[in-house]
Structure 1
Amino acid sequence: MLHTTVVDTRRLPTADRFDMWLETVSGSSAKLRIRTEHSADFTARAVFTDLGPIRLARHDYPSLTATSPGRPVDRRDRGSYQLGLTVRGGSRCRQEGRDSHFTPGDFTFYDSARPHHLDHHSGAGGHASSVVVIVPHTVVPLPPRRLSTLLAARMPGTEGVGRLLAQFLVEVTDHPEHYHAADASRLGTIGLDLITTLLGRHLVAEEEVPAEVRRRALFSEVQAYVRRHLGDTTLGPQVIADAHHVSLRSLHRLFEAEQTTVAAYVRDLRLQRCRRDLADPALRGRSIGSVAARWGFASPAHFSRVFRAAHDTTPQEWRSRHLDQSRIDKTAASTVKRSPAD
């Protein structure tokens, strides 16, 4: 599991909760002056996850305002950018003369080393929620002068690379248990690539994003697209290329760099989903043909040929073997549970 640090004010006496939150926030970003009508009983939660070059912070808190005078940077602390995704409630950011409002699904970008003002308003359930990515200035491969034009700007997280980044941030912060600690650095690289690409596109300066960063971000977009459309029997290289506005040749080169092909990637992902369904006792009543169709195989006969070529067994034999094993495991667990009373 990824290493996380959890701060939950509900674990403390009511009178100590707001002071704890002030200390937590001061340790994770620039010095902030925070005001709230809920200081008498400030119930809030923060989860911090370190991912190599970046840090994620998932916040849930009552309405508040935060103002920072900025701070000088030095050789030891070169400062950081922060990219915030509003998850619940509403937000507002003011910096460098720009004043923008945000609703769930919007990103905002600001420099924690410069003066700024933030407002967060509670949503359903009485709390605001956001995911903030803390990105050191030194790891963003874009000119600081150009990035200044994006400070306090609104960037949608509901389309294109913004949507992919939003899904990535919510998934990682909601379910750190889905990943191994060894995955942290690689996940950080993926996150930074997506952030850099998002900023580059809003600068209309994508050519300034390093080519390898663009390639990795595009590959992540293609992977997400394939997962969303896996059940579509028409899904193939040309459809994928058209959806991402690249040539078929460029798409094939993208997959060559990953030491696979487009067709092999789609096929292997479909087989993976079929294996999972065939081994699921809850789906034992579903025909093999319907399982195959669910994941984009055009016919049961075609699916059977592809499955046998990949696994040297038939789908029915695979299903029987794994369902039998599931029954054995369930019986064994039941026996162990009953044995103390024997």
Structure 2
Amino acid sequence: MRHGEARSTTTAAHPEYNALGTSGWSALLAQSLLAFNVESDDPQHFRGYLRNRKIADVDFIEMATGCHVAHRSADTIARDCRPDYVLCLQVAGVGEFHQGSRTAVLQPGDLTVFDATRPATVVSSAEYRNVCIKFPQRLLRLPRSHVDQLTAARISARDGLAPATGALLMTLGHVMEDISGRTRYLAVRNALDLVSTMFESILDVSGDGGKTERNVIPGQIREYIDEHLGDPELSPAAIASAQFISLRKLQGIFQQNGTTVSAWIRTRRLERGRRDLVSSGELSVAAISRRWGFKTPSHFGRAFKDEYGVTPAEFRREASAG
């Protein structure tokens, strides 16, 4: 736990607030979540609780506060600009999340997401409690242009996969201390897979059951690529032929989603390899690279470091250590 000095040892179910003042709360947010400027009616006596646990490059955060307003300005972002998303589950009280032209007003059980690279404002009621996960944008299967359509949008506690996503976030909060490093990592990765699936579901289908105007990569194309990731000869031309469409049309589908066919294949291979580095300890890095279609281990190693900032061996050591 990275911030033990700033919180009580009581459980998240009954958090003990710390008398930090708004300046202390701002400092704790900057250290544990993101930089915000905090305002309240009684800044000297502002109290709050925050708990942060980091697993690989994902932060799992629980917080409880009283009434306040937190602003994340462009100047703040310039100093703190890793491209992350923050998915928030409202646990108690009411939270308002403002970003761009949208506002999400969350009741307990509702979810929303915001982009850490853009200005945002959060307004908290009395007895406010929230669970968040902060994670790099590259970990989602969807391109940023589509997730942008969901930022500061309320995802109802009763809609689609929202109940399952909320329940999983709460469960992780309860069991995180009791499971090992590898298991914790896999649990968080599965949670992000569920988040991706929830977002895809929202973007794919409108409220009346019809297709929206948003463009997404068709499921049959995604499935074909995933089924053939291990083939080092997988190429845009092979995919277009298998799907009975022209190469130009295939490329256009991916361009509409802000990516290319080759970039999508590379990302999916790296995601699978990344998971195997944690879950398949008996496999060497070379074997994992072959399993997912990289022609040489050095090609896998270079691509992995470019994407994640560490070598496959370094990542495996860090994940095993928790």
Q: TM-score range by the shorter chain?
A: 0.5 to 0.7
**1:95 aligned to 2:106?**
no
Cα contact 1:32–1:66 (8 A) shared by 2: yes
Letter in 2 for 1:91: G
CA distance in 2, matches of 1:169, 1:206: 27
Q: Which residue of 1 aligns with 2:109?
A: 105
Closer/same/farther in 2, CA of residues 206 and 174 from structure 1, 3 Å limit = farther
Q: Which amino acid aligns with 2:174?
A: D
RMSD: 3.1
CA distance in 1, matches of 2:162, 2:73: 29
Q: CA deviation at 1:161?
A: 2.0
Q: Is the 8 A contact 1:30 1:113 kept in 2?
A: no
State the one-letter code of the partner of 1:49.
Answer: R
Q: What SS class does the counterpart of residue 155 from structure 1 fall into? A: coil
CA distance in 2, matches of 1:4, 1:183: 19
Distance 1:52 1:164, change over 3 A: farther
CA distance in 1, matches of 2:72, 2:85: 14
For residue 158 of structure 1, report the CA deviation from its aligned partner. 3.5
Deviation at 1:110, TM superposition (A): 0.8
Report the residue type matching 1:69 in the other structure: S
Listed one character per residue, the Cα deviations across residues 28-77 of structure 1 (whole Å, up to 9, x for unaligned) are 34421111124222221111122334211000111111111135679x95
Query: Is it true that 1:152 corresponds to 2:152 in the alignment?
Result: yes
SS at match of 2:155: strand
- SS, match of residue 94 in structure 1: strand
Deviation of the 1:4 alpha carbon? 6.3
Q: TM-score, normalised by structure 1?
A: 0.53
Q: In 2, are the aligned partners of 1:54 and 1:192 still within 8 Å (CA)?
A: no
Residue in 1 that maps onto 2:36: 32
Change (3 A) 1:88 1:211: farther
User: Deviation at 1:180?
Assistant: 2.3
After superposition, residues 1-342 of structure 1 pair within 5 angstroms as 3=1, 5-6=3-4, 7-8=6-7, 14=19, 16-70=20-74, 77-122=81-126, 127-204=127-204, 205=216, 207=218, 211=223
Q: Residue type matched to 1:8 in 2?
A: R
Give the match's secondary structure for 2:149: helix
Cα distance, 1:51–1:165 mapped onto 2, change above 3 Å: farther
CA spacing shift, 1:121–1:27, aligned 2, 3 Å:
same
Q: Structure 1: how far apart are the matches of 2:67 and 2:55?
A: 28
Over the matched positions of the two proteins, sequence identity in percent amounts to 17
* 1:128/1:72 CA distance change after superposition, 3 Å: closer
Q: Are residues 78 and 183 of structure 1, via their aligned partners in 2, closer, same or farther at CA, if it must alter by over 3 Å? A: same
Identify, as 1 or 2, the structure richer in helix.
1
Look at both structures and tell me which one has the larger radius of gyration over its CA atoms.
1
TM-score normalised by structure 2 residue count: 0.57
User: How far, CA to CA, are the matches of 1:184 and 1:88 in structure 2?
Assistant: 26
Counterpart of 1:120, as a letter, is: S
5+ residue gaps, structure 2, are: 9-15, 205-215, 228-322
Name the stretch that deviates more: 182-191 or 201-210: 201-210
Change (3 A) 1:11 1:29: closer
Structure 1 unaligned residues grouped into runs of 5+: 216-342
CA distances 1:69-115 after superposition (whole Å, capped 9, x unpaired): 135679x9532111111100001111111122111111011111101
CA distance in 2, matches of 1:69, 1:48: 23
- Which amino acid is 1:135 matched to? F
Q: Deviation string for 1:7-27 (max 9, x for gaps)?
A: 327696x4x544332111012
* Post-superposition offset of 1:133: 1.1
The 2-side partners of 1:158 and 1:36 are apart by 32
